[in-house]
């Protein structure tokens, strides 16, 4: 299935592009949360960060940094949120690897909350031991 981002990247759907290189294409989010909200998508149609190769993942973050600096200069937000979500349970709405460069302002209506759990150091060490790199 071809995603809306693949259609944007191929030029089939018009977009307001901000940046592109051999790895990524960045364009204005059609659903601007705040002015300057940019999406950075991989050229390759990876579904999630875990599916991507390291070069594409690294290029996406390099582009996000560069775009965040430019957004900061252009829009003077009070902060910037870089958000990358994977799979529907992780808040991903388009099954194509991308991240958001989102200018933020106090009381802008954007909310990102979760219940904080503090399992203790012994449990944290058990969790850490399960992660094999």
**pLDDT confidence of residue 112:** 86
Confirm whether 98 is a catalytic residue: yes
Categorize the per-residue pLDDT at 113 as very low, low, confident or very high, splitting at 50, 70 and 90: confident
d(CA 96, CA 88): 12
**pTM of the model as a whole:** 0.94
Q: What angle do CA 81, 48, 32 make, to 5 degrees?
A: 35
Q: Which CATH superfamily, name and number, covers 4-130?
A: HIT-like (3.30.428.10)
Task: Kindly list the domain boundaries of the chain, sorted by start residue.
Answer: 4-130
pLDDT of residue 1 exceeding 80, the answer is: no
In the chain, the percentage of residues whose pLDDT exceeds 90 is: 95
pLDDT of residue 114 exceeding 90, the answer is: no
């Amino acid at each position: 299935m071809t995603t809306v981002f693949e259609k944007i990247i191929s030029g089939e759907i018009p977009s307001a592009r901000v940046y592109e290189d051999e790895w990524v294409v960045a364009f204005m989010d059609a659903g601007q949360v705040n002015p300057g909200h940019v999406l950075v998508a991989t050229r390759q149609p990876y579904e999630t960060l875990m599916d991507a190769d390291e070069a594409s993942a690294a290029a996406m973050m390099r582009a996000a940094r560069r775009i965040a600096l430019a957004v900061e200069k252009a829009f003077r937000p009070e902060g910037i949120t870089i958000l990358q979500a994977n799979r529907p349970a992780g808040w991903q709405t388009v099954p194509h690897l991308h991240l958001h460069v989102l200018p933020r302002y106090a009381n802008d209506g954007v909310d990102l909350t979760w219940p904080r759990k503090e399992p203790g150091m012994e449990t944290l060490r058990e969790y850490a031991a399960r992660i094999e790199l």
